[in-house]
Amino acid sequence: MIKTLLLSALAVTLTAQASTPAHHLPDGTFTNTDGSQSDKPFSELMRWRSERGDLPLDEYFSDARIEKTLTALNYRPNTPIPDAPERGAVVTWLGHASFLIQTPNLTLLTDPHLTSRASPFSFAGPKRFGPKPMDVNALPPVDVVVISHNHYDHLDKRTIKALLKSQSSEPRWLVPLGLASWFKGVGADNVREMDWWQIEGVGDADVHFVPVHHWSARTPTNRNKTLWGGWVLKSDDLDYFFAGDTGWSSDFRDIGQRLGPFDLSSLPVGAYEPRWFMKQHHVNPAEAVDIHLAVRSDRSIGMHWGTFQLTDEPYDQPVMDLAAARKAKGVSADEFFVLPHGASVQVDPP
Ligand code: ZN
Ligand code: ZN
């Protein structure tokens, strides 16, 4: 009898171990698919902060350089939102990692951020250096909001609260594992936490959460306790990939093989200098072009630049580096491009 009980207890333990995904650690944190975890020691952060003192930061982030970047971005404050298309899709860049995706049957928002700082504080932290393209209240009814991870430039409490207030019916919030309680805490009810490769059906579309190479933290004590990832939308009108924040990894070949090709992708091209510090978690434009090729995207929009100053490259550097990377890798400017804030791309139905 005791032997039988012990055997069944062992079986339960083994089953539990076998069913725990490798990226879920026993301490409640998550890892990347290669087992790595963000583990930058404080000394490296200090080295970055001290070495950046040698850079001509006054020139990099001068008013003249901002002006040049805003001109390149052809800022369009208060751009009217396009109507939902009758066929295909319209994708509008709202700055940084925020996109409005409209198909005939679905309106989806990615990492919505429409306030003035990427920070826990309204008075300090990285400030938006141009006007925001529109107010949260100007957004049309949104069916689904997807969140890539909890960093302040991707999960903005003031924007989420404003959405909860302004939307006539609450959107469906699709969030990485561990973030539902944060959403419940700000008053959201319609939340689903997802693990990598899980799928949510929304109308006639499927939304997939996929692995990318990054990390998470919102406070000094919650590092990697919530998951991070990218999102894929598959529908008759649009196959779309949103990469969130990421370093280069073989995850993109997997995503391309399992869910590609895509009509359109949103890929990060900013916040990548200095490389020795940023490379692990933020691709540069050359690596973004590698992602574009690996996931098999017809076209890609460069995002995560031209909105907040997060790292050491000058505001307008990503555009120049993207042009050089395209040339080196034989990708055309029609294939991988940047948009002005508030500008849209049309995707024809297949
Ligand atoms: Zn991040
Ligand atoms: Zn980011």
Alpha carbon of 245 to ligand 1 centroid (Å): 5
Q: Are 94 and 145 in contact (CB under 8 A)?
A: no
Q: Are 306 and 341 in contact (CB under 8 A)?
A: yes
Query: Which parts of the chain have pLDDT scores under 70?
Result: 1-18, 72-78
**What is the predicted pLDDT for the residue at 119?**
84
**What is the predicted pLDDT for the residue at 18?**
59
In a domain, 162, yes or no: yes
**What is the predicted pLDDT for the residue at 171?**
98
In a domain, 323, yes or no: yes
Ligand lying nearest the CA atom of residue 229: 1
**What is the predicted pLDDT for the residue at 8?**
55
**What is the predicted pLDDT for the residue at 20?**
92
* Total domains in the fold of the chain: 1
In a domain, 135, yes or no: yes
| pTM for this prediction | 0.91
Alpha carbon of 336 to ligand 1 centroid (Å): 22
Ligand lying nearest the CA atom of residue 270: 2
Taking Cα atoms as reference points, which of 247, 208, 235 lies closest to residue 91? Answer: 235
Q: Are 264 and 347 in contact (CB under 8 A)?
A: yes
For 174, the domain range is 44-347
Per-residue CA distances from 27 to 31, 44, 84, 224, 243 (Å): 11, 25, 45, 10, 27
**What is the predicted pLDDT for the residue at 178?**
98
**What is the predicted pLDDT for the residue at 216?**
96
In a domain, 297, yes or no: yes
Q: Which two tokens stand for residue 302?
A: 């460069």
In a domain, 194, yes or no: yes
In a domain, 15, yes or no: no
In a domain, 13, yes or no: no
Alpha carbon of 224 to ligand 1 centroid (Å): 11
**What is the predicted pLDDT for the residue at 3?**
54
Give me the CATH number covering residue 296.
Answer: 3.60.15.10
In a domain, 88, yes or no: yes
Alpha carbon of 286 to ligand 1 centroid (Å): 19
